[in-house]
């Protein structure tokens, strides 16, 4: 189990990122987005579906959390649907531990060097 400070930081960053994604795409902000810290994991995946002719434009960001980048990409593969005529889709995958001194700051790169060096 992670320390409460890391869980709270992940939650804060996730909420801020979702707000910014909504702002960037002109989507309404939910009146009460209740993200429980228990579901928050290391990677935030957010998806704005494409706009399709004859259909209403997306009105919300779809999002999920994953333990790893690979898992986040698998979530995306299961959710994203696209057409040849659609436009305006966006996909974001963000490591919520980057920069906060959390577990990601201590991982090694493929070359074996410390990621903070």
- Alpha carbons 63 and 75: distance in angstroms, whole number: 10
Most confident of 24-33, 39-48, 100-109: 39-48
Q: What confidence category does residue 31 fall into, taking pLDDT thresholds of 50, 70 and 90? A: confident
3 state DSSP class of 88? coil
Q: What confidence category does residue 100 fall into, taking pLDDT thresholds of 50, 70 and 90? A: low
Greatest CA separation for the chain: 52
3 state DSSP class of 62? strand
Check residue 91 and give its pLDDT: 94
Looking at the predicted structure, is the pLDDT value of residue 112 above 70? Answer: no
- Alpha carbons 83 and 102: distance in angstroms, whole number: 39
Check residue 19 and give its pLDDT: 95
pLDDT in tens, 60-77: 999 999 999 999 999 999
* Model pTM score: 0.77
Q: What confidence category does residue 114 fall into, taking pLDDT thresholds of 50, 70 and 90? A: very low
- Alpha carbons 76 and 2: distance in angstroms, whole number: 25
């Amino acid at each position: 189990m992670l320390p409460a400070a890391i869980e709270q930081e992940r939650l804060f960053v996730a909420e801020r990122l979702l707000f910014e994604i909504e702002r960037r795409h002109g989507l309404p902000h939910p009146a009460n987005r209740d993200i429980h810290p228990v579901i928050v994991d290391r990677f935030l995946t957010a998806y704005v579906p494409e706009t399709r002719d004859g259909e209403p434009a997306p009105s919300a960001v779809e999002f999920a959390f994953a333990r790893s980048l690979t898992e986040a990409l698998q979530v995306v593969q299961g959710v994203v649907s696209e057409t040849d005529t659609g436009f305006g889709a966006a996909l974001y995958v963000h490591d919520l531990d980057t920069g906060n001194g959390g577990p990601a700051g201590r991982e090694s790169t493929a070359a074996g060097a410390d990621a903070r060096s």
